[in-house]
Amino acid sequence: MNVNHRQISRKDFNLLYGRLNNRGRWGDADERGTLNYITPDKVVAAAALVKSGRSISMSIPIDKTAGPDNAHPAIHYMAQLHEDAEAGFATDFLGMQFHGDCHTHIDALCHISYGGLLYNGKPAASVTSAGAGRMDVTAFAEGVIGRGVLIDAARHRGVKWLEPGEAVTAAEIEAIEESSGVRLGEGDIMLFRTGQYRRRLEKGPWNVGAGGEGRAGLDPYSLLLLHERKVAAFLPEGDGEVAPSYVEGLDSPIHVLQVAAMGMLCADSLQLEELAAACVEENRYEFLVCVAPLRLPGGTGCPFNPIAVF
Amino acid sequence: MNVNHRQISRKDFNLLYGRLNNRGRWGDADERGTLNYITPDKVVAAAALVKSGRSISMSIPIDKTAGPDNAHPAIHYMAQLHEDAEAGFATDFLGMQFHGDCHTHIDALCHISYGGLLYNGKPAASVTSAGAGRMDVTAFAEGVIGRGVLIDAARHRGVKWLEPGEAVTAAEIEAIEESSGVRLGEGDIMLFRTGQYRRRLEKGPWNVGAGGEGRAGLDPYSLLLLHERKVAAFLPEGDGEVAPSYVEGLDSPIHVLQVAAMGMLCADSLQLEELAAACVEENRYEFLVCVAPLRLPGGTGCPFNPIAVF
Amino acid sequence: MNVNHRQISRKDFNLLYGRLNNRGRWGDADERGTLNYITPDKVVAAAALVKSGRSISMSIPIDKTAGPDNAHPAIHYMAQLHEDAEAGFATDFLGMQFHGDCHTHIDALCHISYGGLLYNGKPAASVTSAGAGRMDVTAFAEGVIGRGVLIDAARHRGVKWLEPGEAVTAAEIEAIEESSGVRLGEGDIMLFRTGQYRRRLEKGPWNVGAGGEGRAGLDPYSLLLLHERKVAAFLPEGDGEVAPSYVEGLDSPIHVLQVAAMGMLCADSLQLEELAAACVEENRYEFLVCVAPLRLPGGTGCPFNPIAVF
Amino acid sequence: MNVNHRQISRKDFNLLYGRLNNRGRWGDADERGTLNYITPDKVVAAAALVKSGRSISMSIPIDKTAGPDNAHPAIHYMAQLHEDAEAGFATDFLGMQFHGDCHTHIDALCHISYGGLLYNGKPAASVTSAGAGRMDVTAFAEGVIGRGVLIDAARHRGVKWLEPGEAVTAAEIEAIEESSGVRLGEGDIMLFRTGQYRRRLEKGPWNVGAGGEGRAGLDPYSLLLLHERKVAAFLPEGDGEVAPSYVEGLDSPIHVLQVAAMGMLCADSLQLEELAAACVEENRYEFLVCVAPLRLPGGTGCPFNPIAVF
């Protein structure tokens, strides 16, 4: 697979940003962005996909180990054990800087700014040391229940995983859809599998930063397809980015476009191994998805465990 | 309402414990307890309850403020702001001792022991400073998707909230079922509303400890009803306990019986105000419930945001 | 004692700020402020005060309990116990938002700004989410070793503690000096006792915030005395402030004047009960003081345990 | 330098343990161990060493970066910035699992057990999830003020640093003393330099665990010298251990002997580069040392910044 991408100039990126920009689409006060596509009828239709009653976790186990790809290991301490108690209560403390490369987490719309603006033209400065004054993760508090569609690029290519630097284009997404017998539509939740988690399991942690090995992800122009199809949320393995980036001067163009321009609920670092196997076994690539973000006032996201139900 | 309960001796409590004990019911290695009641067909049936597409959060906003009822305020810090960045990424850190009286959280089966034993006869000493070696919260990792049934004791009594010390008996649960046109059955998730959260909103934090005002909850013998009906999970406002306890020498008999004897997934400190209003509006007391526990290895529980879908 | 203070207008406060301002006194790049007064000969002279070899802690035990005066209880968890180990190593985790009313801590010079400026005219915006870029607590890393002088206002007044709202003036400091046979001089570390900690021990936690009972502390004009005498550091019980403040529109005028104008190392919430008793027993009010700030890059202060040696 | 050490059998280790054991020496209730050697006259004599007034930090800057040798990076977040405030207060949160290979910290006597016993024959089980019930770090709360003596093995050998696996024997300590013109005596605080910190600065982080490169430290029998001389405290670069260990089945024999048998205040991971340079410039290897442990109830140690004063 060619990883010698044509560079995208900042000028062209900005044109793309403009085409994807949903500012004002749901009113000036909107804080839910593309989740607006998930109308009640979409929820009802998604629930109707539950036929076998099988549920699947799409989360990586919370990682407490510092490593080349985990600069922010979760801290987890027992606060109380059952020591000598007739009726014992064991308790614990969990701390996470959850926006890390190894923690399955949600990005709230306040998480990312471009040119000083958040989604819907709101000032980035509204996020202060006191937390996000706008578009924090509580904007998603009622949960995201909808139709999930797995776009399994690794399976489509017949590889265990995409190699760092590789990009998936709109055309490839369409080819995957065709071979899977499924089509992303309005209000859908896109699960995007590159095999990155399997690579980590088999080859161990890797460096993902500036001097690291890079990541496989989406071609920035593929977002035009998601925009046109009115996709509501994006849940990838890894973070959906190609690294090194081939957009001039921007490390994370996908995040910028999805979150700041489109107002799309994104997540990072899912684990789609179990889901991919289940899709094969169930012979379908659509299912109910349940996302239940923590109700964290001011939060730029949260750790979570997205569930697929067949 | 009479709060002068007949005391339950420890001997009688132990007899009750024995009647409720599910040890061995699903095999010696079982770590999921009453979740075994939620068979795939129950999941499918629960999904069929989604008719209006409305979803509701049943979580209290994460509370960062120390107070008389919050000895363990969540800590939440911004790790990075959008400062001066062309493309900015705001991130944060969340830390929680989540088994607190003000944090909506799940109790894993390792959370509680009685007489040195966890559910299924496993040693309490298997929970060490390294975490729970058995029955940690990852035993629930695939999520809990099932039929929720609201037992709204406050509404049934025509009060804003039950007063501290009051208990709800099996007979009252049956009366509530009858007036609500719903019946707890095998694999159901019981939502139990006492109005405690509303009381907190209106009257402010209160003391819940030894010298505090107490709480309203379940009568211990009511668990025989849940046992017989094969209820799978219990999600209450508050923690389901009556305080002061009227079981000899035990502060939290409900937890002990549910978690250690029955192996029941329990939660604490839900917020059922929105759900109660929705049930009235939707004119039904059953709905789909989605519980998505964090995949925390060794964890005795986790914060969560349970979602109801009508 | 009169607590009906004459209000200080902001205009007068600003004039006082100007008189106390040490900007440029030790050069434009200085980050140590009044610690510059502690020249090597002062250190040698201070060490010569050690005659009986008795050392005293001036720290409150780290407080892990949330209370009316402790919105930020320290979190302290055991990370490992000696469980079953032939050679065991017990370890723990300590977390603190140490600028709290109950934690004995140092204020670095970056901690406080006035009119957008830190000490020495540096921009407050140099403190970002990444920490303090200037005048963090590491500017004090080599430790503060000097002569300590106890100004014991409670003892001088013959009371257990000063009442909330009471202020100590320059004249009273001079009277205390005279009765104690000691005089604050260049490079000295001022220990300031109001009896606040004893009050807490005897009467329990109290509210210190907006609606709380208030605190006893220094009259703002008393700082002219400290300035003239070239005092190097200020270590009080409480935080040295009178509450409610009688400076127009400013809650913490003492901190603003000491830290932002004078560049003085300040601390909060010392415990001077043991020191006060030792001064009486040793019959002197001067002694060696050792302050050893944590070497925390970017930190606005740190928890510490100041030691007096007689 | 030979690193092919003669293995020490567990039987021989236990004999050594017995010879070093201070159990009962200062009474059955003693919790201060060898600090008892620092009598008031020793404090006075140590203060008399202050002649030039120069003070030196012996702490590594607190390390927030996860790395091969830092599995527990400190977490440090800004709680509040000076945002838009006329009078601004920037605050932060610091969290540390301080017993790590990169954090300068104190080991309390409860930190280490051998054969189920802490120092003075107290049960290891007295350390519970609630913290240490005995011999926590508050036993050192009044501070440690005494004579420091630098044993600079790297300088004595004429190397930048000792290589992993190398051991310093009693004979070498005596040779270092002789060449330095100083002699460890009763109540002294031993600073032990291997050059490990310089190695880290020049060669970067290294692996210190089971599969890592190892460390240079003390030969276990050298502790007989410290015991005989009545050394009060041991403050090394690294942790004083030779790795791999050459004691049968024990990774950290030095810690076990010093802390559990001798009851000696130990520290880990000092930075003695500045001290070593100062000793050369001052042409003496003795000085005042100030250790001011945090007053952390139940703590097995604490981060600290030891200060040397010439």
In tens, the pLDDT along B170-226 reads 999 999 999 999 999 999 999 999 999 999 999 887 766 555 678 899 999 999 999
Q: What is the pLDDT of residue C211?
A: 54
Q: How far apart are CA B299 and CA B144, in angstroms?
A: 17
D97 touching chain A per CB within 8 A: yes
State yes or no: pLDDT of A208 exceeds 90.
no
C81 touching chain B per CB within 8 A: yes
Q: Which residue has the tokens 């001097």?
A: A211
To the nearest whole Å, the CA of D64 is away from the closest chain A CA by 9
Neighbours, chain B (3 or more CB pairs < 8 A): A, C, D
Q: Is the peptide bond before A293 cis (omega within 30 degrees of 0)?
A: no
Neighbours, chain C (3 or more CB pairs < 8 A): A, B, D
Q: How far apart are CA C23 and CA B32, in angstroms?
A: 66
User: Collapsing DSSP states into helix, strand and coil, what is residue C56?
Assistant: strand
Q: Where is B19: in which H helix or E strand?
A: helix B10-20
Q: Tell me if C43 sits within 8 A of D55, measured CB to CB.
A: yes
Per-window interface: C 164-183 vs D, CB < 8 A: none
Q: Which residue has the tokens 């008996």?
A: B169
- Selected for mutation to probe chain C from A77, A81, A94 (highest C CB count within 10 Å) is A77
When the pLDDT of each residue in chain A is averaged and rounded to a whole number, the result is: 95
User: Collapsing DSSP states into helix, strand and coil, what is residue C94?
Assistant: strand
* Bridge-based pairing state of the strands C87-89 and D112-114: antiparallel
- Selected for mutation to probe chain D from A70, A76, A129, A208 (highest D CB count within 10 Å) is A129
Residues of chain A with C-beta less than 8 angstroms from the C-beta of B42: 53
C66 touching chain B per CB within 8 A: yes
Q: Residue A260 corresponds to which tokens in the numbers above?
A: 């700041």
CB within 8 Å: B73 and C66: yes
CB within 8 Å: B70 and C65: no
Q: How far apart are CA D250 and CA D46, in angstroms?
A: 36
To the nearest whole Å, the CA of A92 is away from the closest chain C CA by 9
Q: CA quadruple D119, D123, D125, D129: dihedral positive or negative?
A: negative
State yes or no: pLDDT of B99 exceeds 90.
yes
Q: Which residue has the tokens 């940003």?
A: A17
Q: How far apart are CA D231 and CA D190, in angstroms?
A: 7
Q: Where is A94: in which H helix or E strand?
A: strand A91-96
Q: How far apart are CA A37 and CA B206, in angstroms?
A: 41
**What is the 8-class DSSP label of residue D262?**
I
Q: Residue C16 corresponds to which tokens in the numbers above?
A: 């006082």
Instruction: Give the other-Cβ count within 10 Å of B160's Cβ.
Output: 12
CB within 8 Å: D250 and C296: no
A93 touching chain C per CB within 8 A: yes
Instruction: Give the other-Cβ count within 10 Å of A1's Cβ.
Output: 12
Nearest to B78 among D77, D95, D129 (CB): D77
Q: How far apart are CA B229 and CA B219, in angstroms?
A: 16
Nearest to B128 among C66, C70, C83 (CB): C83
C75 touching chain A per CB within 8 A: yes
Q: What is the pLDDT of residue C238?
A: 93
Q: What is the pLDDT of residue A84?
A: 74
C78 touching chain B per CB within 8 A: yes
Nearest 5°: the CA angle A207, A213, A217 is: 105
Q: CA quadruple A35, A40, A46, A52: dihedral positive or negative?
A: positive
CB within 8 Å: A138 and B302: no
**What is the 8-class DSSP label of residue A162?**
P
Q: How far apart are CA C132 and CA C124, in angstroms?
A: 9
Return the half-sphere exposure (C-beta side, CA atoms, 13 A cut-off) of residue A252.
23
Q: Please tell me the pTM assigned to this model.
A: 0.96
Give the residue among A303, D48, A281 at the shortest CA–CA distance from B299. Answer: A303
Q: What is the largest CA-CA distance in chain B?
A: 69
State yes or no: pLDDT of A288 exceeds 90.
yes
**Burial degree of A290 (CB within 10 A; 0-12, 13-18, 19+):** buried
Nearest 5°: the CA angle D180, D182, D183 is: 130
Q: Which residue has the tokens 């014991």?
A: C152
C50 touching chain D per CB within 8 A: yes
D289 touching chain C per CB within 8 A: no
Q: How far apart are CA B123 and CA B134, in angstroms?
A: 9
A66 touching chain D per CB within 8 A: yes
Q: Residue D43 corresponds to which tokens in the numbers above?
A: 């404090």
Q: Which of A186-195, D92-101, D208-217 shows the lowest mean pLDDT across its residues?
A: D208-217
Span D230-235, average pLDDT: 98
Strands of D259-306 (E only): list them.
265-268, 286-291, 301-303
CB within 8 Å: D93 and B77: yes
Under 8 Å CB pairs connecting chains C and D tally to: 288
Confidence of residue D199 (pLDDT cuts 50, 70, 90): very high
State yes or no: pLDDT of A287 exceeds 90.
yes
Under 8 Å CB pairs connecting chains A and D tally to: 38
β-partners of residue C217 are C167
Q: Tell me if C296 sits within 8 A of C149, measured CB to CB.
A: no
Within A165-288, where are the H helices? Answer: 170-180, 196-203, 223-229, 253-255, 273-282
A258 touching chain B per CB within 8 A: no
State yes or no: pLDDT of D296 exceeds 60.
yes
Dihedral of the alpha carbons of B191, B192, B196, B202, in degrees to the nearest 10: 60
D210 touching chain C per CB within 8 A: no
Residue D221, amino acid: Y
When the pLDDT of each residue in chain B is averaged and rounded to a whole number, the result is: 95
State yes or no: pLDDT of A210 exceeds 60.
no
Q: How far apart are CA B220 and CA B15, in angstroms?
A: 12
Nearest 5°: the CA angle B83, B89, B95 is: 100
- Helix %, strand %, coil % for chain D, to 5? 30, 25, 45
Q: What is the pLDDT of residue B208?
A: 61
Residues of chain C with C-beta less than 8 angstroms from the C-beta of B80: 129-130
C245 touching chain D per CB within 8 A: no
Within B48-169, where are the H helices? Answer: 153-157
Within chain D, where are the H helices? Answer: 10-20, 40-47, 153-157, 170-180, 196-203, 223-229, 253-255, 273-282
Nearest to A92 among B57, B290, B300 (CB): B300
Give the residue among D139, A117, B129, A92 at the shortest CA–CA distance from C78. Answer: B129
Per-window interface: D 1-40 vs C, CB < 8 A: 39-40
Q: Tell me if D164 sits within 8 A of D214, measured CB to CB.
A: yes
CB within 8 Å: B250 and A142: no
The residues near B283 (Cβ < 8 Å, ≥ 6 apart) are: none
To the nearest whole Å, the CA of D247 is away from the closest chain C CA by 13
- Selected for mutation to probe chain B from A42, A89, A106 (highest B CB count within 10 Å) is A89
Dihedral of the alpha carbons of C245, C248, C249, C252, in degrees to the nearest 10: -40
Span D296-308, average pLDDT: 98
What are the tens digits of pLDDT across the range C174-232? 999 999 999 999 999 999 999 999 999 998 877 665 556 788 999 999 999 999 999 99
Q: Tell me which chain D residue has its CA closest to the CA of residue A80.
A: D129
Nearest to A83 among D66, D81, D128 (CB): D128
Q: Tell me if D294 sits within 8 A of D304, measured CB to CB.
A: yes
Q: What are phi and psi of C130, to 5 degrees?
A: -85, -5
Per-window interface: C 190-209 vs D, CB < 8 A: none
Give the residue among B191, B199, B197 at the shortest CA–CA distance from B218. Answer: B191
The CA distances from residue A308 to A47, B91, B127, B302, D152, in Å, are 11, 27, 30, 20, 62
Q: Tell me which chain B residue has its CA closest to the CA of residue C66.
A: B71
Q: Tell me which chain A residue has its CA closest to the CA of residue D77.
A: A129
User: Collapsing DSSP states into helix, strand and coil, what is residue B231?
Assistant: coil
What are the tens digits of pLDDT across the range D32-48? 999 999 999 999 999 99
Q: Residue C257 corresponds to which tokens in the numbers above?
A: 């004047």
Q: Tell me which chain B residue has its CA closest to the CA of residue C125.
A: B83
Q: What is the pLDDT of residue D142?
A: 98
Q: How far apart are CA D290 and CA D159, in angstroms?
A: 28
Span B97-126, average pLDDT: 96
Higher pLDDT, D214 or D128: D128
Give me the percent of chain B exceeding a pLDDT of 70.
97
Q: How far apart are CA D171 and CA D177, in angstroms?
A: 10
Span A232-261, average pLDDT: 96
β-partners of residue A217 are A167
- Selected for mutation to probe chain C from B101, B102, B129, B208 (highest C CB count within 10 Å) is B129
> What distance, in Å, lies between the first and last C-alpha atoms of chain C?
33
Q: What is the pLDDT of residue B210?
A: 52
Span A133-158, average pLDDT: 97
CB within 8 Å: B78 and C129: yes
Q: What are phi and psi of C156, to 5 degrees?
A: -60, -40
Strands of A97-187 (E only): list them.
105-107, 112-114, 127-128, 131-132, 144-152, 167-168
CB within 8 Å: B73 and C79: no
* Bridge-based pairing state of the strands C301-303 and C105-107: antiparallel
Q: How far apart are CA D163 and CA D185, in angstroms?
A: 28
Q: Is the peptide bond before A40 cis (omega within 30 degrees of 0)?
A: no
Residues of chain D with C-beta less than 8 angstroms from the C-beta of A72: 66
Using 50 as the pLDDT threshold, list the residues of chain C that sit under it.
1
Q: How far apart are CA A2 and CA A8, in angstroms?
A: 16
Give the residue among A54, A76, A42, A104 at the shortest CA–CA distance from A238. Answer: A104
Span B150-179, average pLDDT: 97
CB within 8 Å: A129 and D79: yes
